[in-house]
Amino acid sequence: MSSLTGKRVLLIIAGGIAAYKALDLIRRLRERGASVHVVMTESAEQFVTPLSVASLSGEKVHTALFSLTVEPEMGHIELSRDADLIVIAPATANILSKMANGIADDLASTLLLATDKKVLAAPAMNLRMWLHPATQRNLAWLRANNVAFCGPDDGEMACGEFGPGRMSEPLAIVAAVEAVLAIGSTTIPLPAGVGIRPEKPPGLLAGRRVIVTSGPTHEPIDPVRYLANRSSGKQGKAIAEAAARAGAEVIVISGPVAISDAAGASTIHVETAREMLEAVSRTLPADIFISAAAVADWRAEAPAGDKMKKSGNGPPSLSLVENPDILATISQHATLRPRLVIGFAAETTNLVEHARQKLARKKCDLIVANDVGTGTGVMGGDQNTVHIVQADTVDSWPKLDKDEVAARLVDLCVTKLEEKTR
């Protein structure tokens, strides 16, 4: 197991020609088991695109300080505090100067000023900028205040000059990340007594146990093919993180996804619907069960032991059987039914009506219905439009980021549990 397994790295990409190396750095960190969240400066977007970065990191890329969907939760503070280490690559003369002088005029510089975590910088700039007295003065101050550095290396610059200022290669930066994290705690302590609340109020779900299923399931047809769907697991992850922030003990049962595990939760990885049901059953009892996974309805009755080959006689016949109904099984459990059971209904037609039928059929407490038809962008996207379907009401929420949907749903869970205790 890599020393970076489970570590959370916040990568700041500043605006330099070496920004392209950050793409390989993300890949190398994730190969070693780290999750990578990325902040890009406005200048960085001139060299690499947020889409490329998001594709490699598997996470939303953050660029704007004043985001209406993040700032109500003080997003720049959360970004700076959730990481195990902050890495700046490339670290330009501009961002190093902002750090040394306490300037906070964009998202990157603001979170660097607000963070309590150690920072590793990989400088990249023209050699004359590197050797300039102002830069050297800033570097001396930063080193004296526990900022770690990797490089720069000597080499040929994009401008044609040769000398110090070339950003270190991604593998060298990875080695520096491992070395910094190996030292121990990377949290910078506050002075004694500062920032300590006498009594921190418990979260609204403190003492509660929450199980969340997330992502798709993969049902094998043969050793290389499977039946699945387009679920990314983003909504389930967001719900798990929101429940954890509310103080709950959260267990995520996740099908195969390309995103990092939910922060603050324990994750059990499964592949098939039967494995998911078994994992959920093992983790009972719970106070709340949220079935956000898009479980495959059918599986191959007899998966082939070898890869199915073309024979010239047309496609092979595929016999399907129904998968177990996880939501109905848990909702109708004879002895260990959670106090609150929530299902999801991903539909393409007659959304609310199908959700009502599912609510009655599965005997759960409420259904979160969403339209996943062509063009909605819900599956795999960062936003969702949901309808909360209960026995006698339908509450339609506006289009929201999946994080906001999760936060609202957790608030609703708190309300529903309070109703059940009256």
Among residues 344, 298, 288, the alpha carbon closest in space to that of 324 is found at: 298
Among residues 97, 77, 90, 190, the alpha carbon closest in space to that of 149 is found at: 90
159 is catalytic: yes
Among residues 231, 211, 217, 228, the alpha carbon closest in space to that of 346 is found at: 231
Element (H, E) at 95: helix 93-101
How many CB atoms sit inside 10 A of residue 136's CB? 11
Q: Which two tokens stand for residue 418?
A: 């309070």
Give, as one character, the DSSP assignment of residue 167.
P
Phi and psi dihedrals of 262, rounded to 5? -65, 130
10 Å CB burial of residue 415 (0-12, 13-18, 19+) is exposed
Active-site position among 150, 159, 364, 413:
159
Cβ density class 68-93: b for 16+ within 10 Å, e for less: eebeeeebbeebbeebbbbbbbbbbb
Torsion of CA 270, 271, 275, 281, to 10 degrees: 40
Q: Which two tokens stand for residue 145?
A: 């205040």
Look-up: residue for tokens 């609150």?
Answer: 340
Look-up: residue for tokens 């459990």?
Answer: 333
Give, as one character, the DSSP assignment of residue 215.
S
Question: What are the residue numbers of the active site?
Answer: 159
